[in-house]
Chain A
Amino acid sequence: MVKRKEFIIFFLLFLLSLFFLYVYSDITKAKNEIFDRIEHHQIEQISFVLKNIEKDILDSSENLGSNDLVAMFGNTTIREEYEHIISLMLTSNVKYAYILHKDNENRFRFLLDASKSDKAEFYQKFDVTSPEYEAVYKEKKPQIIEQHDIENLYLTYLYPIISNGQVVGLFSIDITTNIQKIILESIKPLETFFAVLIIFVLLLMGMTIMQIFHYFVTRKRIFTDPLTKTFNRNYLEEISPLLNLEHYSLAMLDLDKFKSINDSYGHKAGDYVLSRASMIFKESIRDSDILVRYGGEEFLLLINNRSNNKTNIDVCERLRSNISKELFTYDTNDIKVTVSIGLHKHPSLEKNLQEAIKLADEMLYVAKKSGRNRVITYDEKQSSESSSSTSSKDISFVKEALDENRVLCYFQPIYDHKSGEIFKYEALVRIVSKNGTIVSPIQFLPGLKNTNMHYKLTQRILLIVFEKFRSSQKMVSININFSDLINPDIEETIIKHLSENHHLASRVTFEILESDKIDDVELFKKKINLLHSLKAKVSIDDFGSGYSNFKTIIDVEANFLKIDGSLIRNIATHNKDFRVVKSIVHFARQSNMQTVAEFVHSKEVYEKLLMLDIDYMQGFYISEPKASLAEKEDLFKKAI
């Protein structure tokens, strides 16, 4: 809004300066007009007098010729008489008055000089440079010489003495600058005042222009991503209230396996790929499309579809194809890059832009899951059948946290009551909010289901945990759901870190949510086998809460069975729950799986579980999750 205010001020200043300029030019015009009028009036007066004197001179002799005039004024008495008459014209404004004559050699000579000062002799030569002197003879008309350059003279009035149609001499009247000076002096303060005002207003205008310029420079910096030179999320926030989504399709673009580029070739190479890819994006879209770097290697594209409804898919395909055709060469390394795109053709059908982004992001997730390097378009019909519990706010919240490195892990001990030692720790995601509070996953994780953001978050957690436990002797459990497990990027991360470090792999347990719907059991088994082959352990999480398929559970040969908290919570008071848990423990033993009970929140629950001979336990009664790894002596603090 600063912009609008500055523009209004600038416009007002502009009008003001125009007004002052108008007044200033009007004053100057008025000044010139006054000069002209005074000049005209003065010359008119002088003309009348000179005409009378001319008449008097001509009346003194018939057929007066040029030489007669010289002879006439050669007579000192006559000359002095006329000098006296002409001198009556002298005022503070009329400085010099004299009669000139042009001799046979075309030199001008004084015939008489009525001036009070600087008086010339009779027939003294007078060097003139202005062409008006000759013009008097030629045109036989009075001439005015504007004397800008002779000290104290304003103008010279030349009046011909004409006898028998011939110019025999001329009156020359020099008018001083007195009146001009007086007028100038009286107007000068006014002129100065307006000149100062104009300068002041121009300065203000200059300052306003500077401010507007500064605003645009700052605005560009605020709204532009320095690496890719595309718009950033600030810009999206700025335009979203004004954006008419009916004119746009929305696509989420994500460079495939970007992390591995960073890991393999370094961050500089990653930056180069991002910069080059964004250049290709920009070259592949039109001026009316808006490209925004949404975070990391993810871009948001608003495709203007006013002209053609099919354009959106064409643009996305072009983008995908251009990126896959390009060979990125950095530091002699040829890097192959592809892009996955999630497209929402009609974002205006959603409640707001964030909702549309979320759906496009879901499509992006599908594109990734389906093998990457493809465009997946959102199907409104299919969507209307399935209700989405995801929240667009959660996506933004997690995205920002990932970008700003505010994602961290808390660790809750899993206790071995037989040995009295901590068996392992369960890694639990937390986000530090912008105001510094710790946000638990229940507040954002449900909203991420089936979005690209979910797997990015999982990937980040894997990296945090692998890093923390790489050189430790302790064991750790990581929660992962089926959809994450089949994500190629996540699989790649797991393989990369665990295949080369069996020591780490043997201490990692993947807790797979049993509550997750498993569409492809064979694929699920395959992925579990992969984890086994890496020497990692597998735990079935939240057992007893979901679609338990006992055969599948047995087939995957999980190492642990974690009994769902909803069954444990009331085990001390609900006999039915106790019996169910007892059955599960029995089933686990029969299936060669160790059991873990979560949600151990009280002494009563803990003692009941001891009765059931559960292998491991975790819960607030034993220890709450902490940012650091709890030690044995930190346990059961609540019990004391």
Chain B
Amino acid sequence: MKKFFLLLLLTFSLFASDSKDVLRAQIIEKIISNISINEVITVWSDNKELIAEFRKSSNIITTDDCGKANIVVIENAKNIENKDCKNKPVFVLNYNLLKDVPESFGAFFWKKGRPNIVLIKPRTLSHGITIAKELEAYVEEKIW
């Protein structure tokens, strides 16, 4: 059912280009809600719109201090360079960032106008992240 909901979100994201930011936030929120790191998830992001949307959510705690976060969502690798959070689990908003940021474990991005999700299994394991069954369809063994 949850998988269906995510698929529905992915499909729905195709219909509403005006609220792409909102949908992206909802999808990422859904992904984060379906992973487990043995503590309450606190998110920091370099994307202001995303953080604004997360703040509306009751499932995610956000922080302005990168060091206090246990999940970091970035769209630019430079934004976490020399920061306390550079070793924390990173979720990226661009496929190529998976290659550039070794701590990244997953990505959400638009490929040819379609929404795509990738979760890299070895990296999730190294961060002690457990992935729910609903997200298994998006799990990859490596970055291609």
Report the minimum CB–CB distance from B22 to chain A (whole Å): 15
Q: Tell me if B41 is interfacial: C-beta within 8 Å of chain A.
A: no
Q: Are B144 and A124 in contact (CB under 8 A)?
A: yes
Which of A12-20, A125-133, A411-419 faces chain B? A125-133
Q: Are B138 and A127 in contact (CB under 8 A)?
A: yes
List residues of A (93-134) whose CB comes within 8 Å of B's CBs. Answer: 96, 98, 107, 109, 115, 118, 120-129
- Asked if A150 meets B111 with Cβ closer than 8 Å, knowing A121-B95, A121-B144, the reply is no
Q: Tell me if B67 is interfacial: C-beta within 8 Å of chain A.
A: no
Q: Are B14 and A124 in contact (CB under 8 A)?
A: no
In the complex, which range does the number of interface residues on chain A fall in?
Answer: 20 to 34
* Complex interface bits, A140-153 against B, C-beta within 8 A gives 1, otherwise 0: 00000001011111
* Complex interface bits, B5-20 against A, C-beta within 8 A gives 1, otherwise 0: 0010011001101000
Q: Tell me if A174 is interfacial: C-beta within 8 Å of chain B.
A: yes
| CB-contact partner of A122 in B10, B110, B144, under 8 A | B144
Report the minimum CB–CB distance from A295 to chain B (whole Å): 72
Q: Tell me if B79 is interfacial: C-beta within 8 Å of chain A.
A: no
Chain B residues, Cβ within 8 Å of A107: 137
Chain B residues, Cβ within 8 Å of A122: 144
Complex Cα–Cα for A560 and B65 (A)? 128
Chain A residues, Cβ within 8 Å of B14: 129, 149-150
Chain B residues, Cβ within 8 Å of A96: 112
* A147 to chain B: closest residue by CB: B113
Q: Are B112 and A123 in contact (CB under 8 A)?
A: no
Chain B residues, Cβ within 8 Å of A126: 111-112, 114, 116
Complex Cα–Cα for A462 and B61 (A)? 101
Q: Are B144 and A150 in contact (CB under 8 A)?
A: no
- Asked if A118 meets B111 with Cβ closer than 8 Å, knowing A127-B117, A129-B10, the reply is yes
Chain B residues, Cβ within 8 Å of A120: 95, 111-112
Q: Are B7 and A129 in contact (CB under 8 A)?
A: yes
Q: Tell me if B140 is interfacial: C-beta within 8 Å of chain A.
A: yes
Report the minimum CB–CB distance from B144 to chain A (whole Å): 4
Q: Are A174 and B7 in contact (CB under 8 A)?
A: no
Q: Are B114 and A150 in contact (CB under 8 A)?
A: yes
Chain A residues, Cβ within 8 Å of B10: 127, 129
Chain B residues, Cβ within 8 Å of A109: 144
Chain B residues, Cβ within 8 Å of A123: 144
In the complex, which range does the number of interface residues on chain B fall in?
Answer: 20 to 34
Q: Are A125 and B118 in contact (CB under 8 A)?
A: yes
Q: Are A153 and B144 in contact (CB under 8 A)?
A: no
Q: Say what secondary structure dominates the interface of chain A.
A: loop
Report the minimum CB–CB distance from A175 to chain B (whole Å): 12
Report the minimum CB–CB distance from A149 to chain B (whole Å): 4
Q: Are A149 and B111 in contact (CB under 8 A)?
A: no
Complex Cα–Cα for A120 and B111 (A)? 8
Complex Cα–Cα for A186 and B116 (A)? 36
Complex Cα–Cα for A123 and B113 (A)? 18
List residues of A (483-537) whose CB comes within 8 Å of B's CBs. Answer: none
Report the minimum CB–CB distance from B106 to chain A (whole Å): 12
* Complex interface bits, A146-170 against B, C-beta within 8 A gives 1, otherwise 0: 0101111100000000000000000
Chain A residues, Cβ within 8 Å of B138: 125, 127
Report the minimum CB–CB distance from B17 to chain A (whole Å): 5
- Asked if A115 meets B144 with Cβ closer than 8 Å, knowing A129-B10, A129-B11, the reply is no
Q: Which of A125, A126, A174 has the most CB of B within 10 A?
A: A125
Complex Cα–Cα for A129 and B110 (A)? 13
Chain A residues, Cβ within 8 Å of B11: 129
List residues of B (126-142) whose CB comes within 8 Å of A's CBs. Answer: 137-138, 140
* A110 to chain B: closest residue by CB: B144
Report the minimum CB–CB distance from A638 to chain B (whole Å): 101
Q: Are B144 and A127 in contact (CB under 8 A)?
A: no
Report the minimum CB–CB distance from B42 to chain A (whole Å): 28
Q: Are A128 and B114 in contact (CB under 8 A)?
A: yes
- Asked if A127 meets B95 with Cβ closer than 8 Å, knowing A122-B144, A149-B14, A151-B17, the reply is no
Complex Cα–Cα for A129 and B13 (A)? 11
* B115 to chain A: closest residue by CB: A127
* A172 to chain B: closest residue by CB: B112
Report the minimum CB–CB distance from A171 to chain B (whole Å): 14
Chain A residues, Cβ within 8 Å of B137: 107
Q: Are A115 and B112 in contact (CB under 8 A)?
A: yes
Complex Cα–Cα for A149 and B138 (A)? 23
Residues of A within 8 A of B (CB): 96, 98, 107, 109, 115, 118, 120-129, 147, 149-153, 174
Between-chain CB contacts (< 8 Å), 14 pairs: A118-B110, A120-B111, A122-B144, A123-B144, A124-B144, A126-B116, A127-B111, A127-B114, A127-B116, A129-B114, A149-B15, A150-B14, A150-B114, A152-B113
Given contacts A118-B110, A127-B111, A150-B113, 12 further A-B pairs with CB under 8 A are A109-B144, A118-B112, A120-B112, A124-B95, A124-B111, A125-B138, A125-B140, A127-B116, A129-B14, A152-B113, A153-B113, A174-B113
Q: Which 10 A-B pairs have the closest CB atoms?
A: A150-B113, A123-B144, A149-B14, A149-B15, A127-B116, A124-B144, A151-B17, A129-B11, A121-B144, A96-B112
